Amino acid sequence: DDGRARLEVTNTGIGIPEDALPQLFQEFYRAPNARAVEESGTGLGLAIVRHLVERWHGQVTVSSREGAGTTFRIEFACAVPAGV
């Protein structure tokens, strides 16, 4: 109704510590609890997601609770054809 498209993805994984959320979209950053569980990973995935979403004038946000999972939200403005 507000002319925006939203995509929300939620998991029930290990969650992200609150103090790690501000760095989450930085290149090569991996939350400490993620590094403790799994050694592999470059820390580039979320930085790439943010770059692509922002390039298309969108916004990506995250909410998480450690031990309870994480929700990522991506939002874009929709083009509405003239006369609709």
The least confident of 35-44, 48-57, 66-75 is: 35-44
| pLDDT band, very low/low/confident/very high, at 80 (cuts 50, 70, 90) | low
Mean pLDDT of the chain: 90
Ordered DSSP codes for the chain: --SEEEEEEEE-SS---GGGGGGTTSTT---HHHHHH-S---S-HHHHHHHHHHHTT-EEEEEEETTTEEEEEEEEEPP--TT-
For the full predicted model, state whether its pTM sits above 0.85. Answer: no
pLDDT of residue 39: 75
> Which whole number is the average pLDDT over 15-41?
89
pLDDT of residue 64: 96
